[in-house]
């Protein structure tokens, strides 16, 4: 995981080609460049770098002349420049996971192009096992000159990018079609005319203009940048007195992205003959507890999901530096999604490596996720007895997390509800990996008899089950939509979930995980997995004529059975805020009781920043 940012000042940004922005009032934040560097450094602990570009009008011709300075150079000259000068200040931090030689972002090539990249290239652009994907991407962008959207459309994998193209005096930026990497934007306002992009909001930002009276209507300083590829082309105004920049949003160069974004399923409502097969399949499963004839779809999902995990955990492409540590961890509740990912990880990872399973609880051994995690370990040992599984028990008390809560409030910005805060806190603690493990002994009888010892996971890659519920109908509202409107209503709700996942989930999750110098990877949101699930008839994905724990996420329950995970295949869905019991503790702390919180619809209530 890396952190990227750019601060554009002294330029009049034209936004006419974009949709109209929100009306005032606007939130104001105060922070310095050092604040930005500090928060980016949390994401990329290996190094932090910066580059500056100064733009000045050339009186002799209607173009922009360009001066490039290393960080710290040209500071005196900048102070003496006229008001018509502009500046682009690029910042980058690196958590290096690929390549054989260390790199420092932003990268600058011999042509003067500058790249700050936060992502992974899992396909689309050819890489050798020893290549660093950021370096290869910079070379590819330089070789194609003007076709930046086409290059970015080739990438399979999550990404966010800031790229200065020297030849065209153009700033390119954006993120992948599903928003799997965070990139926040501040569009220029009267209060703050700068244009800013950053992976995360500075932790030391001071807010002005937000209070209980206008918090619901105010236009936030930061927004989640909508998915896509954008550019700002720079020039000089007709008067020649100021530098202007025009923002354009570009189309994807690959039709695959257009199809996936539209998320149109060909087979939504079953025909009478399909219903007959569905009913027969239910009878067969009840009769001999075996997989029905629809398991051919589950087998297909299993194949692409395993390949997705393999792409994200191939050790030959992970930059280890001088450290030898557990390479991969799993955000582990013992539930359906995390158990499937863990079982597939075992098939993809050399048996010599241990695997950290990170489990957060706000109720010690009594939290549902802690109980299911311990049961899950037992089931994993049956199918993978040679692997050493480390269940990292991360115990927390909400009342003692004063500093951590303030930190997470900043990280989830612009999200600001108690539900976001609860989920973000649980993810942040999990990614930190600071907990306890049970010391194994040869004569062990039950795990509880073993001594708990302090342990901190050093794994830099964290597998997360994000995207499984949205694509496989795992939320309670999916069952409600089916009951109220049948298959079409269910399909539309799932489509809505996938088209807004970048705004509701992934940016927040990315920022909370990455703040610990870890990279969250989402195998369920692999392009091939998304396409495969979309090609399967909806009635094979879920069957809401069956009870909870059976009909919801039906396809994944069949995948679990194929992996030998028969117990977890029967478990009902449980969200992290409930399974860890942080929601219960938050309700008691902020509303007095669960009942009062439910009456206030606590999940959607906005918290007041400290």
Q: What is the mean pLDDT of residues 94-100?
A: 84
> In terms of domains, do 45 and 138 share one?
yes
Domain that holds residue 591: 322-442+452-604
> In terms of domains, do 224 and 351 share one?
no
pLDDT tens digits for range 501-554: 999 999 999 999 999 999 999 999 999 999 999 999 999 999 998 999 989 999
Identify the CATH number of the domain in which residue 166 sits: 3.60.20.10
Is 270 within the bounds of a domain?
no
Q: What is the mean pLDDT of residues 333-357?
A: 95
> In terms of domains, do 92 and 169 share one?
yes
Is 283 within the bounds of a domain?
no
The CA distance from 284 to 459, in Å, is 43
Q: Give DSSP secondary structure letters for 281-325.
A: HHHHHHHHS---TTHHHHHHHHHHHHHHHHHHH-GGGS--TT---
> In terms of domains, do 333 and 246 share one?
no
Is 304 within the bounds of a domain?
no
What is the structure's pLDDT at 276? 78
What is the structure's pLDDT at 272? 84
Give residue 285's pLDDT band: very low, low, confident or very high (50, 70, 90): low
Residue 241 or residue 271, greater confidence: 271
Is 357 within the bounds of a domain?
yes
What is the structure's pLDDT at 79? 37
The contacts of residue 599 (CB under 8 Å, 6+ apart) are none
Is 223 within the bounds of a domain?
yes
Pairing mode, strands 519-521 and 461-463: parallel
pLDDT tens digits for range 10-24: 999 887 666 545 555
Helix pair angle (527-535, 255-262), 10° resolution: 60
Best-predicted range by mean pLDDT among 133-142, 276-285, 292-301?
133-142
Total domains in the fold of the chain: 2
Is 308 within the bounds of a domain?
no
> In terms of domains, do 202 and 350 share one?
no
Distances (CA, A) of 502 to 158, 179, 249, 523, 590: 11, 5, 17, 15, 28
* Percent of the chain topping pLDDT 70: 84
Under 8 Å between Cβ of 516 and 433: yes
Under 8 Å between Cβ of 574 and 369: yes
What is the structure's pLDDT at 82? 45
> In terms of domains, do 247 and 328 share one?
no
Is pLDDT above 70 for 257?
yes
Is 376 within the bounds of a domain?
yes
> In terms of domains, do 134 and 247 share one?
yes
> In terms of domains, do 488 and 377 share one?
yes
> In terms of domains, do 246 and 394 share one?
no
Identify the CATH number of the domain in which residue 388 sits: 3.40.50.620
> In terms of domains, do 400 and 520 share one?
yes
> In terms of domains, do 123 and 199 share one?
yes
Is pLDDT above 50 for 400?
yes
Is 596 within the bounds of a domain?
yes
Cβ neighbours of 404 (radius 10 Å) = 15
The CA distance from 7 to 186, in Å, is 10
The CA distance from 171 to 13, in Å, is 12
């Amino acid at each position: 995981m890396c952190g990227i940012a750019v601060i554009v000042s002294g330029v009049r940004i034209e936004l006419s080609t974009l949709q109209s922005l929100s009306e005032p009032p606007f939130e104001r934040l105060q922070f310095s460049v050092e604040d930005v560097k500090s928060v980016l450094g949390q994401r990329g602990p290996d190094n932090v770098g910066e580059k500056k570009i100064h733009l000045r009008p050339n009186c002799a011709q209607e173009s922009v002349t360009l001066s490039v300075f290393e960080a710290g150079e040209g500071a005196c000259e900048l102070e003496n420049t006229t008001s018509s000068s502009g500046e682009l200040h690029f910042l980058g931090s690196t958590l290096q996971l690929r390549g054989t030689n260390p790199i420092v972002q932003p990268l600058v090539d011999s042509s003067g192009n500058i790249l700050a990249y936060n992502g992974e290239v899992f396909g689309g652009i050819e890489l050798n096992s020893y290549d660093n994907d950021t370096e290869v991407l910079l070379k590819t962008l330089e070789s194609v000159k003007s076709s930046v959207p086409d290059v970015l459309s080739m990438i399979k994998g999550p990404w966010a990018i800031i790229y200065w193209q020297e030849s065209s005096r153009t700033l390119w930026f954006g993120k992948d079609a599903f928003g799997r990497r965070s990139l926040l934007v501040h569009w220029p306002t009267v209060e703050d005319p700068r244009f800013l992009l950053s992976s995360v909001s500075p932790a030391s930002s001071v807010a002005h203009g937000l209070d209980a009276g206008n918090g619901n209507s105010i236009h936030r300083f930061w927004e989640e940048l909508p998915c896509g590829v954008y550019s700002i082309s720079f020039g000089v105004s007709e008067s020649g007195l100021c530098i202007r920049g025009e923002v354009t949003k570009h189309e994807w160069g690959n039709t695959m992205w257009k199809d996936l974004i539209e998320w149109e399923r060909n087979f939504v409502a079953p025909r009478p003959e399909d219903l007959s097969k569905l009913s027969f399949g239910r009878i067969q499963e009840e009769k001999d507890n075996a997989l029905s004839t629809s398991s051919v779809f589950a087998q297909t999902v299993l194949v692409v999901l395993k390949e997705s995990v393999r792409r994200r955990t191939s050790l030959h492409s992970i930059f280890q530096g001088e450290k030898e540590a557990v390479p991969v961890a799993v955000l582990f509740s013992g539930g359906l999604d995390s158990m499937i990912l863990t079982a597939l990880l075992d098939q993809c990872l050399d048996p010599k490596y241990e695997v950290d399973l990170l489990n957060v609880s706000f109720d010690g051994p009594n939290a549902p996720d802690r109980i299911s995690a311990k049961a899950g370990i037992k089931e994993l040992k049956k199918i993978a007895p040679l692997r050493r599984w480390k269940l990292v028990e991360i115990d927390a008390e909400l009342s003692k997390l004063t500093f951590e809560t303030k930190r997470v409030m900043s990280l989830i910005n612009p999200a600001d509800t108690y539900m976001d805060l609860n989920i973000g806190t649980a993810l942040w603690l999990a990614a930190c990996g600071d907990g306890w493990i049970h010391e194994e002994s040869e004569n062990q009888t039950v795990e509880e008899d073993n001594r708990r010892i302090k342990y901190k996971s050093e794994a830099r890659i964290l597998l997360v089950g994000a995207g499984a519920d949205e694509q496989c109908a795992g939320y309670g509202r999916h069952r409600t939509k089916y009951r109220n409107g049948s298959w079409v209503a269910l399909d539309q709700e799932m489509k809505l979930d996938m088209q807004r996942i970048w705004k509701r989930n992934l940016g927040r999750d990315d920022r909370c995980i990455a703040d610990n110098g870890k990279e969250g990877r989402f195998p369920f949101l692999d392009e091939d997995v998304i396409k495969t699930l979309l090609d399967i008839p909806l009635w094979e994905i879920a069957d809401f004529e069956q009870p909870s724990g059976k009909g919801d996420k039906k396809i994944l329950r069949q995948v679990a059975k194929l992996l030998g995970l028969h117990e977890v295949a029967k478990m009902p869905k449980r969200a992290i805020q409930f399974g860890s019991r942080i929601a219960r503790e938050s309700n008691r702390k902020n509303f007095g009781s669960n009942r009062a919180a439910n009456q206030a619809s606590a999940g959607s209530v906005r918290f007041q920043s400290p």
